[in-house]
Amino acid sequence: MSTNDALFARAQQVIPGGVNSPVRAFRAVGGTPRFIQRAQGSAMWDAEGRRYIDYIGSWGPMILGHGHPAVVEAVSRAVSEGFSFGAPTEREIELAEAIIGLVPSVEQVRLVSSGTEAGMSALRLARGATGRSKIIKFEGCYHGHADALLVKAGSGLATFGHPTSAGVPPEVVQHTLVLEYNHVGQLEEAFASHGKDIACVMVEPIAGNMNFVRSSVPFMTRLRELCTQHGALLVFDEVMTGFRVALGGAQSVYARLIPGFQPDMSVFGKVIGGGMPLAAFGGSKAVMSQLAPLGPVYQAGTLSGNPVATACGLATLKEIAKPGFFESLSAKTTALVQGLTQVAQDAGVPFCGDSQGGMFGFFFHPTLPQNYATVMATDKDRFNRFFHGMLNRGVYLAPALYEAGFVSAAHSDEDIALTLDAARHALRD
Catalytic (active-site) positions: 142, 237, 270
Residues ≥6 apart with Cβ < 8 Å to 118 = 112, 144, 239, 267, 268, 269, 279, 280, 281
| Burial of residue 256, with CB atoms counted within 10 A of its CB: 0-12 exposed, 13-18 middle, 19 or more buried | exposed
Distance of CA 320 to the CA centre of its chain: 18
Cα gap 46→34, rounded to integer Å: 6
Cα gap 401→364, rounded to integer Å: 10
Buried b (16+ CB within 10 A) or exposed e, 172-206: bbebbbbbbbbbbebbeebbeebbeebbbbbbbbb
For residue 80, the SS3 value is helix
Q: Give the amino acid at 9.
A: A
Residues ≥6 apart with Cβ < 8 Å to 188 = 222, 226
Number of residues written out for the chain? 429
